[in-house]
Copies of this chain bind each other. A is one copy, B any other.
Amino acid sequence: MRVLINTPAAGNSPGEWFPVTTNVEWVVENYTDNKPAAESLRGVDVLVGTDFTQEMGAASDSLRAICVPAAGMDRIDPAAVPDGCAVTNAYAHEAPIAEWVMACAVAMDHELFKSERSFRYGSWEMWPSRHGSYRELMGRTFGIVGLGAIGKRVAKLATAYDMKVTAAGRRPEQRPEAEAAGIEYEPGRAGLERVMAESDFVLVSTPLNALTAGLIGDAELRLMKPASYILNPARGHIIDETALYEALAERRIAGAAIDTWYDYPKSRDDAPRPASHPFWELDNLIMTPHHSGATEGTRTRRAKVVAENIDRLSRGEPLVNVVTGLSRA
């Protein structure tokens, strides 16, 4: 079994990283421009990586599985995947992402970034006797767009904070499970509009695909209350960039916490600005470079899923976490 590793997660010792029981010949491709050279793909059974292009598909002569050691499939071109080659992904990131979400919600609500900077520089302006009262999460509403693993984990935490949780999604059949967890759930466009209009915090937690690209645009942001916040640890392009920038710059919403962006480094030394509008000039935004789910725990849990699929392929068993119905904007 020949396995090509095209992800920085494994370093140079994939055998230590991926706990397989099968005998595997590892090929490690330096992760420079996000895709391996075509010749590396020859004779490979399994590709472990986040990217798959037409060029890579054309160079694959024996590929049986693409194991994405991440949740997002938006850099896998489904048209490039060879016939009979399975594509699997791996989640296990919902706990740290939900930690980031709740922390950013409190940080915005309690003005933690402003307070810390100001107090560190010597001012008591944020002291309650001078600033007045702050807000608190308890009793407010967390709205969730896309009730998958991340959305459910945030719902669990928000419920522990004694918040109301409301959610929208694609699937009407999710309602009983959601309601059993105390989550108000409404599918489709009506649900999305209700979540945008009623929530104090809106979490974007859908995958990026043809249905969700630009799902939250100017019209949807204009449904939000002026005191509300939006948080996006999912994928940048689910929210229209210009609409988000204008809502923040014109202070039509109170703020945003954004972990996923519109532009990323394309090579080792590349450092582009993450958007074409100057988000970094806004003071009502928390911006982080796509690390909400990137923990040691996530890496370990995902490596186990990849290893299990390599073992299953070797034994001729059905794979887990197979992604079906890939579609692209």
A119: chain B residues within 8 A (beta carbon)? 274, 280, 287-289
User: Which residue of chain B has its CB nearest to the CB of A137?
Assistant: B99
- CB of A294 within 8 Å of the partner chain: yes
Contact yes or no, B102 A106, CB < 8 A: yes
- CB of A112 within 8 Å of the partner chain: yes
Contact yes or no, B287 A116, CB < 8 A: yes
Q: Could you tell me how many residues of chain A have their Cβ less than 8 Å away from some Cβ of chain B?
A: 62
A161: chain B residues within 8 A (beta carbon)? 95, 99, 157
Q: A129-B8, A273-B122, A280-B122 are in contact. Are A136 and B96 (CB under 8 A)?
A: yes
- CB of A315 within 8 Å of the partner chain: no
**Which of A124, A136, A273, A292 has the most C-beta atoms of chain B within 10 angstroms of its own C-beta?**
A136
Q: How many copies does the complex hold?
A: 2
- CB of A138 within 8 Å of the partner chain: yes
Contact yes or no, B110 A106, CB < 8 A: no
A129: chain B residues within 8 A (beta carbon)? 8, 31, 265
A137: chain B residues within 8 A (beta carbon)? 95-96, 99
- CB of A188 within 8 Å of the partner chain: no
- CB of A190 within 8 Å of the partner chain: no
User: Considering the complex, which residues of chain A in the window 88-142 have a beta carbon less than 8 Å from any beta carbon of chain B?
Assistant: 95-96, 99-100, 102-107, 109-110, 112-113, 115-116, 119-124, 126-129, 131, 133-139
Binding site for B on A (CB under 8 A): 8, 31, 95-96, 99-100, 102-107, 109-110, 112-113, 115-116, 119-124, 126-129, 131, 133-139, 156-157, 159-162, 264-265, 270-271, 273-274, 280, 286-292, 294-299
9 pairs, A vs B, C-beta closer than 8 Å: A96-B136, A96-B137, A96-B138, A102-B102, A103-B106, A119-B274, A120-B280, A123-B271, A127-B291
Q: A123-B271, A133-B294, A135-B296 are in contact. List 12 more A-B contacts (CB 8 A).
A: A8-B129, A96-B138, A100-B106, A100-B112, A103-B110, A107-B112, A115-B288, A124-B270, A128-B294, A129-B265, A133-B295, A135-B295
